[in-house]
Structure 1
Amino acid sequence: MKIGYGMSLYEQVNRIKEKILLAKEKDSSFDVFGSTKHKYEWNIPISSEEVRDFENRNNITLPEAFKLFITEIGNGGAGPYYGIYKVATDSHDGYLSKPCKLHPHLSNEEWGHLTSFEDDDNLTDEQYDSHYNALFQGMLRIGTQGCTYDMMLVVSGEYKGRVVYIDGDLQKPFFTYENNFLDWYERWLDEIIQGYEIDWFGMLMGGDDAELMNKFHTSNDEEYKVNAIWGMNKLPHLLPETIRFLEEQCHNPSHAIKSVSLQLLTKNCYTKAKSFLQQWLESDNEDDTLKALKYIYWYVEEDVQDFVKPIKTVLSTTKNPENFRFITYILEKSSEEDASLYVPFFTHPNKEIRTCAIHTVGKSKEKEKYLQDLIQCLQDDEVSVKRMAIQALRDVTNPILLPCYEKILDEYKTNEHYILSNVMHRLEEFGVQAKSILEKAKQHPDKEIKDSAYRMLKEIE
């Protein structure tokens, strides 16, 4: 055993060296997100002397587990997402030695306070950068998940050693569940080897069915219990006893626990979830109804027809635009194409429901049956509804539409909200029939519309 490290960490290092080979064998075609970048290869480790130089230069002591990784396994290379960055041992960052401000139980209010500088328009670029760097002080950037998402290692403060996911656009950070880097890293290898869903590795609680159920039963914290159940979402298959557990939890007094249990039960065993889904569809609580609609749309395939009748009943009473939207998705998925169901909603008080109804009819092969209804929608006071009506009339070249489009061109002087450009797309479908309107549009005050008219007339000729 080397001085300064526990034997358990060295045993873990040896396991990791063995598991990287198994992971590469399991993912030989590099299907795991980011694996084409690192290909399960590590960089050459660095020496303890180089680590000490880096620590002295930055006035920190690296977490033991991470230090062991870069000196015994590799200074970066294979790892979650696009891999682990090299530690630039000659670099200096004055923010590393300052205590990390973040913690695992960070509230939305606290995060809002920490990021309030975002709303200060009086800050110079230098002042903004100073606030931004201070926000993530005490953390070493160890990798990227792509886009604005990075992986950080806490190197100073109470939570030293924890891996944290941050977003450069300042969404609230996420502390992963493991207490140190090697536990987090080994879990990544285990989940690849076991064939788990790993695209968003680390966001779900670790463990298999039995471990997660045990975590659930040994905690009194509702949020922790919900996370334990949701951790099962990464598993490729659930054991029969896990299905029974989820079925039991659908009766749990906690609404949050019932909800996540029903979601996973629907995903993994529709026959056991069916009766619960029917109950939630009939609920007076529109949020419960929405959850049932989402679970049906996301997970129910061959049996979606079971819900067509009750969903049509919900359609007739819902006032929630999101519920309405998912109803259209499910009915479309069930091949129940009946555009007449949605036409009455063209005049619904809620503009989002009107827009969704028009959009759905616009996808129907029978939409010309409802041409007069769609023409009425072209006169809607809400610009978003009017724009959707124009888009819904795609490929409909009935001449009675031409005066409607001409009126809109006269009414709108600019292409604000893209009303006019959508009208021009519809006129283009008419070809020579729209020639007189296009001649008039050559004098339109909006340059984009004027140019489109010239181009379309040239194509007609």
Structure 2
Amino acid sequence: MVDQRWAGVRERVAALGALPAGSEVFGSHGHHWTLEEPLTEDELTELETQLGVSLPAEYRTFLTQVGAGGAGPAYGLFPARRVRGRWRWEGDGADLADLSTLAQLFPEKGPDPELLDALTAERPEEEDFDEIEDFDDAVEAWDERWEAVMFAPARTAGAIVICHLGCALREWLVISGPHRGTVWSDPRVDDADLEPLLDTEGRPVTFARWYTDWLDKAERAARQQVAGV
């Protein structure tokens, strides 16, 4: 069944890539306006069988009607690829997702706030050390403890990384649980927890909205470049 949300999307992406102004759109030098070929239904079935979970409907139809990845928000949509007979996603940080846990429910809440507060209070301060080497060692030890909490694999069970925005900032697509099909921002590198992307009315952003909003904005930015605005 054809998903009308994706009608004409490949053509719109190609048209943007053909415009000189397209190179001015943020992230375009990462994906070069190239979409990979769509997956066949057999490939999608094989991918889902290996993962042991069905992908969200909007993403499934994108994979088979638009492309397996490529041109998309920020530096592009991470492609799903078969490597030596096994399916995986490829991109900067894609390996943060544990594909063996995709059938588990994605957790809405992050680490215990009291634990995070305690860790934050224990963060070393340079003025408390006589030697810079001792301070560096203390910071390294603290970073390991912080990352063990913030980047615990259980925090992102049931989700995959779908793109990166640079500087270790990424976005995830929830595969399982109550938030299935929504996109979440990952600013953990800046010591903040994952949070859902919301539209102007405060509603969670689904995959189709995430992608088509980006495409609409990219087209407007390219037209403004052509018009010299």
TM-score (ref. length: structure 2): 0.67
Q: Which AA in structure 1 matches 2:100?
A: G
Say whether residues 1:12 and 2:38 are aligned partners.
no
RMSD: 3.3
Structure 2 counterpart of 1:161: 181
The one of 74, 93, 96 aligned to 2:67: 74
Say whether residues 1:194 and 2:220 are aligned partners.
yes
SS at match of 1:33: coil
Asked if 2 retains the 8 angstrom alpha-carbon contact of 1:26 and 1:193, the reply is no
SS at match of 1:78: coil
Q: In structure 1, what is the Cα distance between the partners aligned to 2:45 and 2:116?
A: 37
Deviation readout 1:403-428 (Å, 9 max, x if unpaired): xxxxxxxxxxxxxxxxxxxxxxxxxx
Deviation readout 1:13-60 (Å, 9 max, x if unpaired): 113223213433556351111101211110122222222222222221
Q: Which AA in structure 2 matches 1:157?
A: G
Deviation at 1:131, TM superposition (A): 6.0
Asked if 2 retains the 8 angstrom alpha-carbon contact of 1:151 and 1:165, the reply is yes
Q: From the CA coordinates, give the structure whose radius of gyration is larger.
A: 1
Q: Which AA in structure 2 matches 1:96?
A: L
SS at match of 1:99: coil
Q: How does 1:16-415 map to 2 (within 5 A)?
A: 16-25=9-18, 28=21, 30-89=23-82, 90=86, 91=88, 93-102=99-108, 112-113=112-113, 116=116, 119=119, 128=148, 132-169=152-189, 170-176=191-197, 177=199, 179-195=205-221
Residues 79 and 19 of structure 1: CA distance in aligned 2, closer, same or farther (over 3 Å): same
Unpaired runs of 5+ in structure 2? 89-97, 123-140, 223-228
Structure with the higher strand share, 1 or 2: 2
Q: In structure 1, what is the Cα distance between the partners aligned to 2:81 and 2:18?
A: 30
Deviation at 1:118, TM superposition (A): 9.4
Structure 2 counterpart of 1:412: none
Residues 129 and 172 of structure 1: CA distance in aligned 2, closer, same or farther (over 3 Å): closer
Asked if 1 retains the 8 angstrom alpha-carbon contact of 2:31 and 2:76, the reply is yes
Deviation at 1:186, TM superposition (A): 1.0
SS at match of 1:75: coil
Residues 22 and 81 of structure 1: CA distance in aligned 2, closer, same or farther (over 3 Å): same
Residues 13 and 131 of structure 1: CA distance in aligned 2, closer, same or farther (over 3 Å): closer
Residues 114 and 63 of structure 1: CA distance in aligned 2, closer, same or farther (over 3 Å): farther
- Residue-pair matches, total: 183
Q: In structure 1, what is the Cα distance between the partners aligned to 2:166 and 2:50?
A: 29
Residues 29 and 50 of structure 1: CA distance in aligned 2, closer, same or farther (over 3 Å): closer
Q: In structure 2, what is the Cα distance between the partners aligned to 1:138 and 1:27?
A: 39
Q: In structure 2, what is the Cα distance between the partners aligned to 1:114 and 1:83?
A: 36
Q: In structure 1, what is the Cα distance between the partners aligned to 2:221 and 2:186?
A: 26
Asked if 2 retains the 8 angstrom alpha-carbon contact of 1:84 and 1:142, the reply is yes
Deviation at 1:193, TM superposition (A): 1.4
Residues 172 and 26 of structure 1: CA distance in aligned 2, closer, same or farther (over 3 Å): farther
SS at match of 2:100: coil
Q: Which AA in structure 1 matches 2:219?
A: I
Deviation readout 1:276-300 (Å, 9 max, x if unpaired): xxxxxxxxxxxxxxxxxxxxxxxxx
Asked if 2 retains the 8 angstrom alpha-carbon contact of 1:19 and 1:190, the reply is no
Residues 69 and 113 of structure 1: CA distance in aligned 2, closer, same or farther (over 3 Å): same
Asked if 1 retains the 8 angstrom alpha-carbon contact of 2:76 and 2:163, the reply is yes
Deviation at 1:132, TM superposition (A): 1.4
Q: In structure 2, what is the Cα distance between the partners aligned to 1:114 and 1:72?
A: 46
Could you say which structure has the greater relative contact order, defined with CA pairs below 8 angstroms and 6 or more residues apart? 2
Deviation at 1:151, TM superposition (A): 1.4
Deviation at 1:180, TM superposition (A): 2.3
SS at match of 1:140: strand
